[in-house]
């Protein structure tokens, strides 16, 4: 089988030989080969910048298991003398297996069923195959349109980034290949009046090429308008309010509330409170929550994870009941549960952890307008800026760039910024009393495990009405 990656095509037969050469010594052997490349374009009023994407990498990670012990070794080249290299790898794995069991090794059975597959995601015009001039011309035009929308716009810039991920997984039972492109693009705008400056942004993302810039172009005027609105924003009066969360804000809530908290490697380590609530109610019956590489098509989507497990769609909350976590292969084996295909690596040099992919609330039956009409006094929150959570204690903090006042079921035009939202996860989710019928996801962000182990994710949902403490 020929793959649309010269690096992986050159590597596939040597990798198969390595697996065969080690299979007689070890109970399980697999290799993940990664070939990822991307470009980041930025358009400023005075210059253009182009740089390699931070997601670019090429290399391999070998996993070996013997008597239930699992170890890994990464490398970035395959020497010409393959037999000598197999011997070298064998010695490396044996050394790791000789270390004490508490020195980073795990004890699980990694048996696989046979699976051979190839997946190449189709995209529109690929920016990575174009000259940079064509991409910059489009970004320049969008930036200029934003900058000239109003005399008070003091700054505008645009950014587009695309990365192609090609991965090959080889083991005794499996040969898997996947290749897909994702992109993300932004408009940043600042308005200035009488020494006061306020900034905002608009973002688009997806498994798309130049089509993303068509979407971005349609947001130029609205981005400039919002920067102007923020010049009149007030500080958020502290208190507990009824809030209507935009799909972006609902996605941030989904990500922070039941993302890290249901990653099963956190449960194995006793760092997630979700372990004590499986099968119990943690949200209102209007709340269902999904995660999965195949549950949506966004920047968190893939065909198989970095451990050779098929991507899936996992129902985490079923009408308020916590029913499942998301797992990497090792923690799933440790807990005796099915693997959900969420084993992801920051790079081939890093360990695979249970990580989110596309995380979102399921739709309801209301409209956005109906949710607003049901608010006596509260705030509509949009433009997520940051978020964090404590999976052990279920505390959560979200920051929205824009809060729009609601009074007697109508938007008053009054704006607050920024808005810090806090709460206890079960209280926030049990207070959900309205969910819209449309769902939107975006994948412009990334997710870290603590302060590292970054992976691309998306999140979203419908418009959601609940209660939170704001300040």
For residue 131, give every residue at least 6 positions away whose Cβ sits within 8 Å of its Cβ, in sequence order, or none. none
Nearest to 107 by CA among 27, 170, 175: 27
| 192 and 257 co-located in one domain | no
Structure tokens at 71: 């170890």
pLDDT digits (tens, 9 = 90+) for 123-141: 999 999 999 999 999 999 9
Rg of the chain on CA atoms, in Å? 24
Residue 246 lies in a domain: yes
Residue 95 lies in a domain: yes
What is the C-alpha to C-alpha distance for residues 262 and 335, in angstroms, rounded to an integer?
13
HSE on the CB side for 381, CA within 13 Å?
A: 32
Is residue 50 within 8 A of residue 132, CB to CB? The reply is yes
What is the C-alpha to C-alpha distance for residues 262 and 68, in angstroms, rounded to an integer?
25
Looking at residue 270, its pLDDT comes to 74
**Number of domains, the chain:** 3
Q: Is residue 105 scored above 70 in pLDDT?
A: no
CA distances to 17, 73, 85, 86 from 81, rounded to whole Å, are: 12, 18, 6, 9
Structure tokens at 56: 């670019």
| 259 and 295 co-located in one domain | yes
What is the C-alpha to C-alpha distance for residues 291 and 426, in angstroms, rounded to an integer?
19
Strands 174-193 and 377-390: unpaired
pLDDT digits (tens, 9 = 90+) for 385-430: 888 877 667 889 999 999 999 999 999 999 999 999 999 999 999 9
| 106 and 12 co-located in one domain | yes
Looking at residue 107, its pLDDT comes to 62
Give me the CATH number covering residue 161. 3.30.2290.10
Looking at residue 436, its pLDDT comes to 98
| 173 and 253 co-located in one domain | no
Q: How confident is the model at residue 15 (pLDDT cuts 50, 70, 90)?
A: very high
| 142 and 255 co-located in one domain | no
What is the C-alpha to C-alpha distance for residues 221 and 395, in angstroms, rounded to an integer?
37
230, 260, 282 - which closes a domain: 230
Q: Exposed, middle or buried by CB within 10 Å (0-12, 13-18, 19+), for 335?
A: middle
Tell me how far apart the terminal alpha carbons of the chain are, to the nearest angstrom: 58
| 258 and 389 co-located in one domain | yes
Strands 377-390 and 321-322: unpaired
Q: Is residue 13 scored above 80 in pLDDT?
A: yes
What is the C-alpha to C-alpha distance for residues 377 and 19, in angstroms, rounded to an integer?
64
| 281 and 343 co-located in one domain | yes
Around Cβ 432, how many Cβ atoms within 10 Å? 22
HSE on the CB side for 151, CA within 13 Å?
A: 2
| 158 and 273 co-located in one domain | no
Residue 448 lies in a domain: yes
Residue 1 lies in a domain: no
Q: Exposed, middle or buried by CB within 10 Å (0-12, 13-18, 19+), for 279?
A: exposed
pLDDT digits (tens, 9 = 90+) for 180-231: 999 999 999 999 999 999 999 999 999 999 999 999 999 999 999 999 999 9
Q: How confident is the model at residue 38 (pLDDT cuts 50, 70, 90)?
A: very high
| 377 and 455 co-located in one domain | yes
pTM for the model: 0.94
Q: If you average pLDDT over residues 358-379, what whole number do you get? A: 98
Phi, psi of 216 (to 5 degrees): -65, -40
119, 139, 160 - which closes a domain: 119
Structure tokens at 321: 């009941």
185, 202, 230 - which closes a domain: 230
Higher pLDDT, 261 or 44: 44
Show the domain range for 19. Answer: 6-38+50-119
| 425 and 383 co-located in one domain | yes
DSSP string for 192-223: EETTEEEEEEEEEEES-STHHHHHHHTTHHHH
Average of per-residue pLDDT values in the chain: 94
Q: Exposed, middle or buried by CB within 10 Å (0-12, 13-18, 19+), for 93?
A: buried
HSE on the CB side for 400, CA within 13 Å?
A: 31
Helix ranges, 269-315 (H): none
| 245 and 265 co-located in one domain | yes
| 30 and 160 co-located in one domain | no
Q: If you average pLDDT over residues 296-303, what whole number do you get? A: 97
Is residue 457 within 8 A of residue 419, CB to CB? The reply is no
Phi, psi of 80 (to 5 degrees): -60, -40
Is residue 316 within 8 A of residue 258, CB to CB? The reply is yes
Residue 88 lies in a domain: yes
Q: Is 174 helix (H, G, I), strand (E, B) or coil?
A: strand
Helix ranges, 259-367 (H): 264-268, 329-335
Strands 458-461 and 358-361: parallel
Evaluate the omega torsion of the peptide bond into residue 338 and state whether it is cis, within 30 degrees of 0: no
Element (H, E) at 428: helix 425-430
Which stretches of 332-390 are assigned E, i.e. beta strand?
343-344, 353-354, 358-361, 377-390
Looking at residue 104, its pLDDT comes to 52
């Amino acid at each position: 089988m020929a793959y649309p990656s010269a690096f992986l095509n050159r590597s596939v037969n040597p990798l198969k030989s390595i697996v065969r050469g080690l299979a007689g010594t070890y109970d399980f052997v697999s290799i993940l080969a990664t070939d990822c490349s991307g470009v980041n374009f930025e358009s400023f009023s005075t210059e253009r910048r182009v740089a390699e994407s931070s997601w670019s990498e090429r290399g391999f990670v070998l996993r070996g298991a013997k008597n239930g012990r699992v170890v890994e070794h990464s490398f970035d080249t395959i020497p010409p003398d393959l037999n000598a290299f197999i011997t070298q790898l064998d010695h490396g794995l044996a050394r790791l297996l000789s270390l004490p069991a508490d020195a980073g090794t795990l004890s699980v059975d990694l048996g696989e069923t046979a699976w051979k597959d190839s997946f190449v995601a189709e995209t529109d015009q690929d920016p990575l195959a174009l000259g940079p001039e064509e991409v910059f011309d489009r970004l320049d035009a969008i930036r200029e349109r934003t900058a000239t929308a109003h005399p008070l716009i003091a700054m505008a810039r645009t950014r587009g980034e695309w990365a192609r991920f090609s991965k090959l997984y080889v083991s005794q039972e499996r040969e898997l290949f996947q290749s897909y492109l994702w992109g993300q693009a932004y408009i940043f705008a600042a308005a200035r009046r009488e020494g006061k400056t306020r900034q905002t942004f608009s973002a688009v993302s997806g498994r798309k090429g130049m089509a993303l810039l068509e979407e971005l172009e349609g947001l130029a005027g609205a981005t400039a308008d919002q920067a102007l609105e923020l010049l009149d924003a007030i500080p958020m009066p502290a208190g507990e309010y009824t809030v209507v969360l935009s799909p972006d804000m609902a996605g941030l809530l989904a990500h922070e509330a039941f993302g890290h908290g249901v990653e099963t490697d956190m449960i194995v380590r006793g760092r997630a409170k979700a372990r004590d609530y499986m099968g119990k109610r943690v949200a209102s019956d209007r709340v269902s929550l999904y995660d999965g590489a195949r549950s949506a098509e966004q920047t968190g989507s893939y065909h198989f994870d970095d451990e050779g497990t098929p991507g899936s769609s996992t129902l985490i909350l079923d009408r308020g009941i916590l029913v499942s976590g998301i797992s990497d292969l090792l923690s799933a084996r440790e807990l005796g549960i099915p693997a959900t295909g969420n084993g992801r690596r920051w790079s081939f040099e890093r360990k695979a952890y249970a990580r989110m992919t596309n995380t979102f609330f399921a739709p309801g039956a209301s409209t956005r307008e109906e949710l607003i009409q049901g608010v006596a006094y509260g705030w509509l929150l949009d433009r997520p800026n940051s978020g964090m959570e404590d999976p052990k204690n279920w505390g959560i903090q979200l920051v929205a760039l824009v809060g729009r006042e609601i009074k007697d079921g109508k938007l008053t035009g009054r704006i607050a910024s920024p808005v810090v939202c806090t709460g206890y996860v079960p209280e926030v989710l049990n207070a959900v009393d309205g969910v819209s019928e449309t769902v939107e996801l975006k994948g412009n962000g990334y997710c870290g495990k603590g302060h590292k182990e970054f992976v691309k994710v998306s999140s979203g949902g419908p418009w959601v009405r609940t209660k939170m403490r704001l300040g």
